[in-house]
Amino acid sequence: METARRIRFTSACETDNSVTLVAHSGAGPLLPVIRQSIPNPVNAYVFVDAGIPRDGATRLDLMKWEDPEWAEQFQEELARGEHFPNWSMEDLRDIIPDEALREQTVAEIRPRGLSFFTEPIPVFDSWPDAPCVYIQFGAPYERPAAQARQSGWRTYELKAGHFHMLVDPAAVKSMIIHAVNTLL
């Protein structure tokens, strides 16, 4: 699997120290793959405005579950050879007001084609092997947040834009720390 081969970590953390894995957006479904690539025990998983893993589902499958109409259009665009994300400085102007952060974000974008979005993402049998928390910023992630609640996960809502961790990192960090401390 391409995703598993791309995820490699080096750590200054001793392997017997437990870690908390935090994922935003499309990184959420990768948490089980990430978990399997590290030797450390995981004490919690935190999903921040993120998709939730489902064994063998592709990114596109998860998008279709979250927003079927949008995902169908998205798939058609990818099938025509378009790539995503393809945001510009102007597209993100209202979402990331700080020009330097917006410029850095746009510079780090790596648009992907259809094959990236149709790659199945595995989930190991005993996942989740640690408690999970869900933090929702906005309406587009209502379905994953509802799934988290139905699964008995602690859920939190911070009314904000999808990139709020760039707009107000202190508030997001505080919410993550509070959520994990409450969980543990």
The mean pLDDT of 88-106, rounded to a whole number, is 95
In terms of pLDDT, which residue wins out, 159 or 4?
A: 159
Residue 16: pLDDT band (50, 70, 90) is confident
Handedness of CA 70, 72, 76, 82 (dihedral sign): positive
Each domain of the chain, given as residue ranges in start order, spans 2-183
Q: At what angle do helices 59-66 and 142-150 cross, to 10 degrees?
A: 90
> Is residue 29 over pLDDT 50?
yes
What does the pLDDT read at residue 11?
Answer: 52
Residue 98: pLDDT band (50, 70, 90) is very high
Q: In the CATH hierarchy, which fold is given to the domain comprising 2-183? A: Rossmann fold (3.40.50)
**Tens digit of pLDDT for each residue in 113-149?**
999 999 999 999 999 999 999 999 999 899 999 999 9
The three-state DSSP-derived secondary structure of 4-48 is: HHHCCCCCCCCCCCCEEEEEEECCHHHHHHHHHCCCCCEEEEEEE
Buried residues in 12-36 as b, exposed as e (16+ CB within 10 A): eeeeeeebbbbbbbbebbbbbbbbe
> Is residue 106 over pLDDT 50?
yes
Q: Which residues of the chain form beta strands (DSSP E)?
A: 19-25, 42-50, 132-136, 154-157
Share of the chain above pLDDT 90, in %: 87
Tell me how far apart the alpha carbons of residues 19 and 22 are, in angstroms, rounded to a whole number. 10
The mean pLDDT of 16-31, rounded to a whole number, is 94
What does the pLDDT read at residue 12?
Answer: 57
Residue 14: pLDDT band (50, 70, 90) is confident
- Structural contact between residues 51 and 29, judged by C-beta atoms closer than 8 angstroms: yes
